[in-house]
Amino acid sequence: MAYDAEAGPSDEALMVLYANGDRHAALALTQRVTPRVLAYAARMLAGDRAEAEDVAQETMLRLWRMAPEWRQGETKVTTWAYRVATNLCIDRQRSRRRKGQMALDDAPDLADGGPTADQRLQDNHRVAALEAALAELPDRQRQAVVLRHIEGLSNPEIAAVMEIGVEAVESLTARGKRSLAAVLSGQRGALGYEDDGHAG
């Protein structure tokens, strides 16, 4: 029986079905989890699409491998996947820093939309600046900000991913946002915020 990519059995139930040889469960999990891991990895890796795809594939590969030992009720599949992807992203960032190859110009494919070409161009510029600013944050702050404000996880969910307390998550996201604002304030004019009348 085919499963809906969004509705239907929970991710955790699909893991059990997958481990029992259900091929439809493999497809549903791929469709549900891969996009989220890819989006998260792209943010964590400053928009490096190729690296983000590698991280997404490796994360899913580990998910498949551990499926036979998956124990329902212990953790959510997405929490586990975010945790693995975080470790892979941090490893790659450290490797890139060692090689001095921090690439900031490889922006992700952006969805079409926006009223005008100028507006779309400006939005792309702003998102690229945000990704560059995120890359300057300490790893834990960047992880907390991305999970909270871009991936839309709740603080308890982020606490589970990062294996810290909820208060620590709140502190990391607050500090991360302050740091982002500080980095981006120097580019306020270039990003067009003064033209919008949002001085300050």
Partner 1 sequence: MQDKDLDGLLSMAASRAPRPSDGLMDRVLADAMALQPRPEGIAAPAAPAPVGLLARLAALFGGAPVVAGVLSAAMAGVAVGYFSPATTDLLTGGLGAGAEVLDLFPSADFLMTEG
**What is the residue whose two structure tokens read 């005008």?**
116
Helices (H), 100-154: 117-136, 139-145
**Degrees to nearest 5, angle at CA 160 with 158 and 163:** 105
**198 touches partner 1 by CB under 8 A:** yes
> Which tokens belong to 162?
């990062």
| Closest-CA residue to 161 (of 60, 92, 86, 93) | 86
Out of 16, 24, 64, 104, the residue judged to bind partner 1 by CB under 8 A: 64
Out of 5, 68, 94, 154, the residue judged to bind partner 1 by CB under 8 A: 68
| Closest-CA residue to 30 (of 47, 11, 43) | 11
Compute the least distance from the CB of residue 139 to partner 1, in Å: 18
Out of 13, 16, 27, 164, the residue judged to bind partner 1 by CB under 8 A: 27
Q: Which residues bind partner 1 (CB under 8 A)?
A: 18-21, 23, 26-27, 29-31, 34-35, 38-39, 42-43, 49, 52-53, 56-57, 60-61, 64-65, 67-68, 108-111, 123, 126-127, 130-131, 145, 149-152, 177, 180-181, 184-185, 188, 193, 196, 198, 200
